[in-house]
Structure 1
Amino acid sequence: MKNYFVKQYKEDDYSNWNSFIAEAKNATFLFHRDFMEYHKDRFEDFSLLIYDNRKLVAVLPANIVGEVVHSHQGLTYGGLVYNERLKLATILQIFKSVLIYLNENKMERLALKIIPSFYNNYYSEEVEYALFLVKAKLIRRDTCAVIELQKKILSNHCEQAK
């Protein structure tokens, strides 16, 4: 099994982080460092960068409270963000590397708020599968309502709902 290098985000990583977010499979504007830095006075950042040799392959926007790492509490959602070319087996190895890193740094728990799938540029549920494999505990489930602005809303659908 391949080991990935995991490190905590530092200010020097700003450009590398944002370049990665711009190209990631499952990223949104919320993960841009300028947006995340807006909350830096309220949250202790613990974002992670994951490398395959010298190539950045994933990031985890996160903050820390005690010994618990949260997919950043200043954001609506979060989780592991990765490149579209990565396959499931690789993402599982990356996720395992993150868990090993957290364990080595005496973190007791990782709390993730998963990115709603309709925000992804490409369909992806690799993180959900990784959570299933490690027998993660579901502690909350949210719901979303989405309107696709490119599709016409028919007035008779609204009347049928009455």
Structure 2
Amino acid sequence: MELQSYSNKSKNPIDTDEESVEENNSLKIIPYSEENAAIWDEFLARAPMATFLQTRRYLSYHADRFQDVSLIIKDEKNRLVGLFPAAVDPSNSKRVVSHPGITYGGLLHTGNLRGAKMLEAFKALRHYYANHRFESLRYKVVPNIYHQVPVADDLYALFCMEAVRYRCDLSCAIDLTNRLEPSLRRKRGLKKALKNEVKVDFGFEFAGHLWSVIEDNLANKYGVKPVHSAKEIIHLYSLFPNNIEFVVGLYETQVLGGVVLFVSPQVVHAQYIASSPKGYQLGLLDAIFQKCIDKAKDLGKRYFSFGISTENEGKYLNTSLYQFKSEFGSSGVVHEFYEMNLGG
């Protein structure tokens, strides 16, 4: 399912079994169940801060890894006004995370949870989880570049609820309407790639070859495996062919590197970036990123995101990686993480 541009004009009431409903002020909190999956995704398609990562279709691919405690929020007229994707923290059974299986979670709405209503929603969430014997809630803020309209009311509500920012990652992105000048090094890299006749191509048929490069790259540099296995990323592509794209750099028909793009209404995001040593020598990534940036513009997106350059929950900045990404004309974007005590 490809998320469409934000619109708050259409109505989408939800008829849900009222068992297990908790009322807090004028809002009702209902635990998510699988029969609400289609309604969840339909509502999400109109939420101006949402991407396909928060859909039930995406979350379902690794649902067996998490104990889901997502919530549906309805108003006093029984209308669906908000969604909260969440699961129990695998490392702490007393903590809720929104959401441990995705980069960001958030309290998702179509414009009805603003100002005092957002604060009321957070109080209702706290009350619900506290009543179910959870002690804390970790909240992954949706980075502002994904917002189709300004929707930072949740940050104010977190402040009012005395939530503490426990983590902050530094990412970077190009504003495609006002791109900073790429560095001379990146311009030279692109010229080198063109001189070496590096070819850039897009297509699912390259997924297997690209995954081999990604696995080797991560193992050699960091001693880790990709977040997604080859089987998982292929499955995700089958669910979201309009949101996931494989881009490779070819030299004499050999795949030497590439990126996996996640496409959302505002952003084209490089989820994976990898090159073989030979690819670096040829300026492979410079050619690949130029093609990707051009494509993001053609799609009418606002940002091209390179992802985070931080480790150890944001405490360590990989300065060489961040410099490499910033040299394409990008600048800083933060990913914020808050924790809220549920007692009191």
Using the size of structure 1 for normalisation, the TM-score is 0.89
Q: Quick one: which of 6, 9, 25 aligns to 2:32?
A: 9
Aligned to 1:104: 131
Q: 1:119 to 1:49 in 2, by over 3 A?
A: same
Matched residues in 2 for 1:139 and 1:87: separation?
A: 24
C-alpha contact (below 8 Å) 1:62/1:69 kept by paired residues? yes
RMSD: 1.9
Give identity over the alignment, percent: 34
Q: Alpha carbons of 1:86 and 1:137: their partners in 2 closer, same or farther (altered >3 Å)?
A: closer
**1:49/1:60 contact within 8 Å kept:** yes
Please give the alpha-carbon distance, in whole angstroms, between the structure 2 residues aligned to 1:5 and 1:86: 13
Q: Map Cα deviations across residues 119-161 of structure 1 (whole Å, 9 max, x no partner).
A: 011112111111111111111111111123455664xx41397
CA distance in 1, matches of 2:127, 2:136: 12
Q: Which residue of 2 aligns with 1:63?
A: 87
Q: How far apart are the structure 2 equivalents of 1:100 and 1:36? A: 25
For residues 117 and 103 of structure 1, the distance between their equivalents in structure 2, rounded to whole angstroms, comes to 29
**2:183 is equivalent to residue 158 of structure 1:** yes
d(CA) in 2 for partners of 1:81, 1:11: 18
Q: Which has the higher strand share?
A: 2
Distance (whole Å) between structure 2 residues aligned to residue 115 and residue 79 of structure 1? 6
Counterpart secondary structure, 1:143: strand
CA distance in 2, matches of 1:86, 1:49: 13
For residue 158 of structure 1, what is the amino acid of its counterpart?
A: S
Aligned to 1:143: 170
* Paired positions, count: 159
Give the counterpart of 1:48 among 41, 52, 71: 71
Poorly superposed stretches of 4+, deviation over 6 Å: none
Normalised TM-score (structure 2): 0.44
* Partners of 2:96 and 2:138 within 8 A in 1: yes
Q: 1:47-74: CA deviations, max 9, x gaps?
A: 1111113211011111013121101111
Q: 2:104 aligns with which of 77, 84, 96?
A: 77
- Given residue 183 of structure 2, which amino acid in structure 1 is its aligned partner? C
Compared with structure 1, are the counterparts of its residues 8 and 136 closer, same or farther at alpha carbon in structure 2 (3 Å cutoff)?
same
